[in-house]
Amino acid sequence: MATTTPDIQRSRRAKSASRPGDRIFSGLSRGSGITLLVIMAAIAGFLTYRAILAISKDSTNFFTTFEWNPAGNPPVFGIAVLAFGTIVSSIIAMLIAVPVAIGIALFISHYAPRKLAKPLAYVVDLLAAVPSIIYGLWGAIFLVPYLDGLNQWLDEYLGWTYLFDKANEGPARSLFTVGILLAIMILPIITNVTREVFLQAPKMHEEAALALGATRWEVIRMSVLPFGRSGIISASMLGLGRALGETMAVAVVLSPSFLISGHLLDPGGGTFAQNIAAKFNEANEYGRDALIASGLVLFVITLLVNGAARWIIGRRKEYSGAAA
């Protein structure tokens, strides 16, 4: 009786498992995975313990209070404003960065000449390595003054939407400005990952589409974008993770206030990371526990975002496999 393919594969795996090098590599890989899970569990446990200590002494509702004064008597603090500012600024950043990043990635991978594509890709890679404090200083010195004109234009022509109705005069240190700055910061990350995914698109599919008379855009729409869909989602979630947790750049640019306002052009709001950076040094032990409690919420939000991304990628077969 002829040996079947599954039998051959099992035989090869059994031989590989018997080699010392394979056993060592397997043990190291398994140990690394377990170590990562232990570290994540330890972080979650520490944050939860310190958060419980703080919330148990909070005299108000932790999730709905608009004030942050853990040193008061009684202590008062809540994350409503911080959650609003973090989510709104990240949404603005994603709405700006994702389409632009996809366009840049497509230009580098399928449109630009090779002599231009390589230097441009190098510049994008270099931007991803710039420290966040540099972006923050650039945003405070250059971006904020030059956004005054854009804010006035938005207020004049789109003020009827309420979102762009500028009710208060002053510098453009708002969630809208923070969203633009975050978009610039996450743009290189999303572009790099998306570009590499697009370059892995099967050349035979593209050549077949061209042979059938498809235009360049039709090739991209029918072959490249479907193949790279999971990569685009993964890159976007990676960028969103940085936008959610960005600290120093937001702290330098934003003028926070514990008020929730739908006017995106007015100063106000705040983010979890910015609030932790601004108040950690001056906080007492209980105030630090309160900040850790807000950090736990950000930790949970990040886990939910990554879990949602994996669910979106895995819900259809075409999202998984080589493109994942």
What pLDDT band is residue 186 in, cutting at 50, 70 and 90? very high
What pLDDT band is residue 285 in, cutting at 50, 70 and 90? confident
Average pLDDT (245-269) is 82
How many structural domains comprise the chain?
A: 1
The residue that leads in pLDDT, 263 or 40, is: 40
- 319 pLDDT higher than 50: no
Predicted local distance difference test score (pLDDT) of residue 12: 60
**Is there a domain that residue 79 lies in?**
no
Instruction: For residue 107, give its domain range.
Output: 84-284+298-323
What pTM does this model have? 0.85
CA angle 270, 293, 39 (to 5 degrees): 115
- 297 pLDDT higher than 80: yes
**Is there a domain that residue 183 lies in?**
yes
Predicted local distance difference test score (pLDDT) of residue 217: 87
**Is there a domain that residue 208 lies in?**
yes
**Is there a domain that residue 24 lies in?**
no
What pLDDT band is residue 14 in, cutting at 50, 70 and 90? low
3-state DSSP of the chain:
CCCCHHHHHHHHHHHHHCCHHHHHHHHHHHHHHHHHHHHHHHHHHHHHHHHHHHHCCCCCCCCCCCCEECCCCCCEECCHHHHHHHHHHHHHHHHHHHHHHHHHHHHHHHHCCHHHHHHHHHHHHHHHCCCHHHHHHHHHHHHHHHHHHHHHHHHHHHHHHCCCCCCCCCCCCEHHHHHHHHHHHHHHHHHHHHHHHHHCCCHHHHHHHHHCCCCHHHHHHHHHHHHCHHHHHHHHHHHHHHHHHCCHHHHHHCCCECCCCCCCCCECECCHHHHHHHHCCCCCHHHHHHHHHHHHHHHHHHHHHHHHHHHHHHCCHHHCHHHC
**Is there a domain that residue 96 lies in?**
yes
List, for residues 170-182, the tens digit of each pLDDT value. Answer: 666 888 999 999 9
What pLDDT band is residue 100 in, cutting at 50, 70 and 90? very high
**Is there a domain that residue 64 lies in?**
no
**Is there a domain that residue 199 lies in?**
yes
- 237 pLDDT higher than 70: yes
Please report, for the domain that includes residue 312, its CATH number.
1.10.3720.10
- 34 pLDDT higher than 90: yes
- 76 pLDDT higher than 70: yes
